Amino acid sequence: METENLIPVQQIVTHHKIEISFINSLYDFGLIEITTIEETRYVLKEQMSEIEKMIRLHYELDINLEGVETISHLLKRVEIMQDEMTILKNRLLIYESE
């Protein structure tokens, strides 16, 4: 199987100097997907910015995993709401200066 768009979990752990249990917990919490190919575990490249954000929340801001999970859900909602706000702002422009 193609591993071009995958990053080995071990590599993330080494580079960020974090415990593998953290990545396992993110998976257990359903926050990331892990693909196993020939006994090597990988995450999708496109998930990396999210994973790095969770690493920062946990290791730099001392937020526990439950907190990271809650924040991740809330940030997704914020993102949806920001998109909606952009649409509504654009709609409002129609009525301005009328």
Partner 1 sequence: MDFIDYYKILEIEKTASEPDIKKAYRRLARKLHPDLNPNDDAAKRKFQQINEANEVLSDPEKRKKYDKYGKDWKHADQFEQAGQQGTESKNYGGQQNYSSGFEGEDYSDFFESVFGRGAGGRSGSSNAKFRGQDFRSELKLELKDVYKDHQQTLNVNGKNIRLTIPAGVENGQTIKIGGHGAEGMNGGPKGDLYITFSIANHTTFKREGSSLYAQVDLDLYTAVLGGDVTVETFDGKVKLAIKPGTQSDVKVKLKGKGFPVYKKTNEFGDLIITWKVKVPTVLNEKEKELFEELAKLSKHGN
Beta sheet of 6-8, edge-to-edge order: 6-8, 40-44, 35-37
Q: Which is nearer to partner 1, 20 or 75 (CB)?
A: 75
3-state secondary structure of 35: strand
Identify the residue among 56, 64, 70, 80 touching partner 1 (CB under 8 A). 56
Name the minimum Å distance from CB 20 to partner 1.
15
Terminal-residue alpha carbon distance, the chain: 59
Q: Which is nearer to partner 1, 39 or 98 (CB)?
A: 98
The tokens describing 5, both together, are 């768009």
The tokens describing 86, both together, are 């952009």
Residues at the interface with partner 1 (CB under 8 A)? 7, 11-12, 15-17, 45, 48-49, 52-53, 55-57, 59-63, 71, 75, 78-79, 82, 86-87, 89-91, 93-94
